[in-house]
Amino acid sequence: MELLKQKILSEGRVIGKDILKVDSFLNHQIDVALFNEIGKEFKRRFFDKKVTKILTIEASGIAIACIAAQYFKVPVVFAKKTESRNLDQETYESEAYSFTKQKTYSIRVSKRYMAKQDHILIIDDFLANGKAAQALIDIVHQAGAALAGVGIVIEKGFQNGGEILRSQNVQVESLAIVKSLEENQILFK
């Protein structure tokens, strides 16, 4: 997606060798007009897939998923990272190792909001080693629901998440694939 790539090139900052910081439009401040184009593009890429719900993970996935959901005309469910007395007792749970935070965390979704009749499209901001996506897929499987695919805004192609998911025959659609962040340079595939 050319518009997204241009935005990454003009505003993205490289941290170390493998982290891309895009706080000015994706992870802190939000460019709503760009998100609108991202939502349309996800709809275009998954036009032939039956989708009854979009699943994402808090926090950054929520805004992306909500805007995309307007094109799919389905609800959004977001997996929660924190335990809360507000959350239903009956939940699907999974675990993921966070590459950026360097720790394992649990995610949970109330059983009330996912059923075996559902066709789930997973949407997230980044795909690195695929741990967050794998944990979301695990929850879809626990619910007995069908996985329509995985939509990612930025995939880091030099990490292996995309390869693992595609080898499992998951339709992964990444709107920008970064090939390398070496020497402070952002290169796309």
147 binds ligand 5GP (CB under 6 A): no
Closest CB to ligand 5GP among residues 47, 54: 54
Closest CB to ligand 5GP among residues 43, 156: 156
CB of 105 to ligand 5GP, least distance (A): 10
Torsion-angle region of residue 66: left (phi > 0), alpha (psi -120 to 50) or beta?
A: alpha
Pairing outcome for strands 53-57 and 119-127? parallel
Applying the rule CB under 6 A, the residues between 30 and 59 that interact with ligand 5GP are none
145 binds ligand 5GP (CB under 6 A): no
27 binds ligand 5GP (CB under 6 A): yes
How many degrees, rounded to 5, is the angle at CA 13 between CA 11 and CA 17? Answer: 150
131 binds ligand 5GP (CB under 6 A): yes
Burial (CB < 10 A; 0-12, 13-18, 19+), residue 62, is middle
Closest CB to ligand 5GP among residues 13, 50: 13
